[in-house]
Amino acid sequence: MEETGIPGHASKNPSMHRLQRLLGELGLNYEAEGDVVRIHYEGVVIELSDYGDEIQVQVELVPEHSDIVDRDALMFYVFGLASSMLGVEEYGVDSVAGYSMLWASKRYSSLEKAVGELEELVRFLVEAVGRTRKCLLPG
């Protein structure tokens, strides 16, 4: 697990701390900065902000480091699974200076509900992708 962030700037919210503990237990890379937790998984960024109670799933459309088609397939598989499981309400593409990002998001009535769904999602992704990875990326 690799955690990055600004020391002393992590959220004070107990739900966010619970989420960070789970991410550590699952060995997932994440950033914790203030009111935001960003999970980096298979080329996909899943971001939860506790100031807007929103989960956003993001994927770079032209991955800089990807030269393997199967790797791209796994990345978009993760994006699709995450978006589908969350029941996202909004999609879009942002482009700045040749950098394009596909995103999908969902807002929640409370941070606790958002954290609960995100915890379920990351548990599922780790299990499902672990099985799928064997098919897409042999060896």
Name which residue leads in pLDDT, 80 or 61: 80
User: According to CATH, what is the number of the domain 3-133?
Assistant: 3.30.1460
Query: Which residue reads 């941070």 in tokens?
Result: 111
Tokens of 5: 């962030």
Q: What is the mean pLDDT of residues 30-53?
A: 87
Q: Compare 25 and 100 and report the one with higher pLDDT.
A: 25
* pLDDT for position 136: 62
pLDDT of residue 22: 93
Give the per-residue pLDDT at 115. Answer: 92
Residue that wins the pLDDT comparison between 105 and 137: 105
Q: What is the pLDDT of residue 60?
A: 80
Q: Which helix (H) or strand (E) holds 133?
A: helix 111-136
Of 29, 49, 33, 32, nearest to 118 by C-alpha is 49
How far CA 1 is from CA of 26, 28, 80, 117, 128, in Å, comes to 8, 5, 24, 21, 19
Domain boundaries, the chain: 3-133
pLDDT of residue 26 exceeding 80, the answer is yes
Q: Is 58 left (phi over 0), alpha (psi -120 to 50) or beta?
A: beta
Letter for the amino acid at 72?
A: D
CA distance 28 to 6: 18
Q: Mean pLDDT over residues 77-87, rounded?
A: 90
pLDDT of residue 88: 92
Mean pLDDT of 17-42: 90
Rg (CA), the chain: 15
pTM of this prediction?
0.81
pLDDT at 87 over 90: yes
